[in-house]
Structure 1
């Protein structure tokens, strides 16, 4: 049983703990938060004695085996690096990093310390994508459209003049990083790394994007993505082939995949949706630690590198800059 530690006391951490416990591979053991009050409030719903920490060094020297990091985006790299150096396995909520070189850094440290590092990009690990990949193997891809946009619960605060973390350049927020990563991961999972990428967006004065659309370019086709946090999309995902169009109800936690051939009747693919959105990734991470599959693990690492390279290219194209990053309007460079 993996002893699980948590960094970050938001709702997403509760969701991961629920999924982790369902796998029967993890046992929640410790919580880290900046204040003891928030750590205690987070721990209240669990009927067990938990170790609570406000000192990161003490937390990392505890008996936990693996950490789940769900702090603001800009803190992920530093916290994950410290945990890996302490010899802990690490699961980082997406986006794991803000720049591709940060992911490469974490991978290097994890290998040196002989521990695992995972990005919690839940759709990448869905069994549904294996079913879809197998179905597409004999078809020529002509393109795709992947949409993932949800109206944020933090929009009222933004409209009141506040800057929630999800819209903050200090904390590496925005639609692309928070939700756009899902269609990018779907594209990399199905088609591999794109050769280039573009992105245009509706942006705040701090350059962080509220919504946007982009294109991932492959040698013979393009994937269009749409994302947003000030809009809501109910559009299905579509994959276009020389034999017809495959329609998915979504690109995360997929429950339906129907192929509409150019001629003939529609074909329904056998998709079994997991009972929890984070169950499949939590199970796969634990299994990888307990029964390592080096080739598969390397595929995961390479996919994450491709995703973060793509996201960074898209940010550059839209001129989205996070705090501390140099850009063309920075006269100090």
Structure 2
């Protein structure tokens, strides 16, 4: 069994979820876990060492000898660490990932990978120069139901993809948040697009043929800003963007919000020439989808309808962790399922959406 030894940077909510998932016994998780991969948390770094120690007690346990470090440098220098998980706030992803790579560590960086395509390109070049594994933590891509839906579409079940609607909304109650909250702070790249946008965008990148290798033929975006009196510079509260792919004759209509909730069984709707697939909310962790094929005669409303339901234990991030383990074991520097060029395309799309919406981020020195 290949043992992946993890260092964790930024012991916040997403890191807690990731570690809890990694350490779930395989018999408690959904089928499809890689039984040849084992995960160990060997180091945790935080600017507050007491917070790192609490994280170890709460999520790792004290018996395994996991070390707690004040700051991140100790994790990067720890000889026991194979790969570093970056779970910091958005604007700190670039610096932490760069430092880990310069220290010779493989990296799994939370989404959004960076705040701009310029930063993403610099990190990708550095990882390739150092011959180190690097991946954005778009964990939804590795869930069996998502792979199943992709295989149905690619296998022609609903014909050619014509349109994809995808939405993710969360009412963050922004009027009651502190101005320093990562959700609404411009200095922390707050707003809906970078926090939630990767999940709706995942679906066209997976399902429209040329979307994973080339930018859309055109992008049309609209941003509604937060308009909070407590913050001089406003972030995006609600964002919608339309991507046209002329080669496939397909269009993606995507939206995200931190002021309204998404509900129901149509968080994602994939329209094909022969039918549709509707995916239940949330689009980042679907447990149900329905396939409807168009009738061949006017007497029938649909030719075929099927609903598939699968319950997921935990959050479902362990499949992504297993993928990292396989890549490290096999000497791969990129995941074939979540390649770096796809990450770069995503960041370039987000750059254009923000440009059209007039949302400028703080410049980060490379």
Q: Which residue, out of 325, 333, 336, partners 1:286?
A: 325
Distance 1:145 1:294 in 2: 33
Closer/same/farther in 2, CA of residues 284 and 272 from structure 1, 3 Å limit: farther
Distance 2:87 2:255 in 1: 24
Moved more, 16-25 or 247-256: 16-25
Give yes or no for contact 2:97–2:109 (8 Å, CA) kept in 1: yes
RMSD between superposed Cα atoms in Å? 2.2
Whichever structure has more helix as a proportion of its residues is 1
Counterpart position of 2:133: 116
Q: Which residue, out of 41, 54, 62, partners 2:70?
A: 54
1:297 Cα deviation (Å)? 3.2
List per-residue Cα deviations over 1:275-328 (Å, max 9, x = no partner).
Answer: 232122111111111124578538621211111111111111111111238xxx
List per-residue Cα deviations over 1:9-32 (Å, max 9, x = no partner).
Answer: 211111100122236522111111
Is residue 185 from structure 1 mapped to residue 212 from structure 2 by the alignment?
A: no
1:225 Cα deviation (Å)? 1.0
Distance 1:104 1:273 in 2: 37
1:29-68 pair list within 5 angstroms: 29-45=42-58, 46-48=60-62, 49-63=65-79, 64-68=81-85
Closer/same/farther in 2, CA of residues 255 and 55 from structure 1, 3 Å limit: closer
Give 3-state SS (helix, strand or coil) of 1:25's partner. strand
Distance 2:103 2:333 in 1: 22
Give 3-state SS (helix, strand or coil) of 1:12's partner. helix
Distance 1:34 1:299 in 2: 30
1:89 Cα deviation (Å)? 0.9
Counterpart position of 1:328: none
Closer/same/farther in 2, CA of residues 28 and 295 from structure 1, 3 Å limit: closer
Give yes or no for contact 1:146–1:238 (8 Å, CA) kept in 2: yes
Moved more, 288-297 or 241-250: 288-297
Counterpart position of 2:122: 105
Give the gaps of 5 or more residues in structure 2: 27-36, 227-231, 296-301
Give the gaps of 5 or more residues in structure 1: 326-333
Distance 2:132 2:337 in 1: 13
Counterpart position of 2:229: none
Distance 1:43 1:80 in 2: 21
Give yes or no for contact 1:181–1:311 (8 Å, CA) kept in 2: no
Distance 1:200 1:114 in 2: 39
Distance 2:20 2:188 in 1: 26
Q: Which residue, out of 225, 229, 233, partners 2:258?
A: 229
1:60 Cα deviation (Å)? 1.3
Is residue 268 from structure 1 mapped to residue 306 from structure 2 by the alignment?
A: yes
Give yes or no for contact 1:143–1:222 (8 Å, CA) kept in 2: yes
Distance 2:45 2:137 in 1: 19
1:42 Cα deviation (Å)? 2.0
What TM-score, normalized to structure 1?
A: 0.89
Q: Which residue, out of 5, 8, 20, partners 2:7?
A: 5
Counterpart position of 1:320: 359
Moved more, 17-26 or 172-181: 17-26
Distance 2:219 2:198 in 1: 13
Q: Which residue, out of 297, 311, 316, partners 2:350?
A: 311
Distance 1:269 1:84 in 2: 44
Distance 1:299 1:121 in 2: 8
Give 3-state SS (helix, strand or coil) of 1:91's partner. strand
Give yes or no for contact 1:274–1:280 (8 Å, CA) kept in 2: no
What TM-score, normalized to structure 2?
A: 0.82
Aligned length: 322
List per-residue Cα deviations over 1:186-227 (Å, max 9, x = no partner).
Answer: 221111243332221221352311112211111112111121
Closer/same/farther in 2, CA of residues 82 and 157 from structure 1, 3 Å limit: same
Give yes or no for contact 1:2–1:25 (8 Å, CA) kept in 2: yes
1:88 Cα deviation (Å)? 0.6
Give 3-state SS (helix, strand or coil) of 2:328's partner. helix
Closer/same/farther in 2, CA of residues 163 and 202 from structure 1, 3 Å limit: farther
